[in-house]
Amino acid sequence: MKLHIVAVGRLRRGPELDLIQDYADRAGKTGRGQSMGPVDVVEVEDRKGGGKPAEAALLLKAIPAGAFVIALDERGKVLSSPQFATQLAQVRDGGAGDVCFVIGGADGLDQSVLDRADAKLSFGAMVWPHMLVRVMVAEQIYRAVSILAGTPYHRV
């Protein structure tokens, strides 16, 4: 099952991009034995300033056909890391070929993207910068495949 992080905005070189690439690489290597990976990052950018509806159109176009979509939204479900790993395993075991994590821009996700989502995930009541959320998603994907692989990365 391929894993995709689809996000609004372009990351420039820096620590966030380095972390995302590192976690994505680790998840891809660890996930092979779990039939998960690779992890790719797709960035979309609304250069015309159309706001959330324009961002939504770009995001929806970037989602692979038939993908299981998880929208990152402050009103989404809060899961522990083991619960998140279990959810990914259930999606994989249900036959999904792709899982797509969708991250909006500074104003969040348009309702059309939320309507397309199969699940909504929150990293808690606090609002996080959308660029930092990418790092958090990449790390949690790596943590999930590590949990499923039984590695000691995740400690309780």
Q: What is the pLDDT of residue 145?
A: 96
CB-neighbour burial class of residue 15 (10 A; exposed 0-12, middle 13-18, buried 19+): exposed
What is the Cα–Cα distance from 90 to 96, expressed in whole angstroms? 9
Interaxial angle between packed helices 130-149 and 15-31, expressed in degrees from 0 to 180 and rounded to the nearest 10 = 20
Q: What is the pLDDT of residue 35?
A: 94
Chain centroid to Cα 94, Å, comes to: 18
pTM value > 0.85: yes
User: What are the chain's domains?
Assistant: 2-149 (3.40.1280.10)
Radius of gyration in angstroms for the set of CA atoms belonging to the chain, rounded to a whole number: 15
Q: What is the pLDDT of residue 156?
A: 61
Low-confidence ranges of the chain (pLDDT < 50): none
Nearest to 20 by CA among 134, 143, 146: 134
Q: What is the pLDDT of residue 127?
A: 84
Angle at 51 between CA 46 and CA 57, to 5 degrees: 60
Q: What is the pLDDT of residue 129?
A: 86
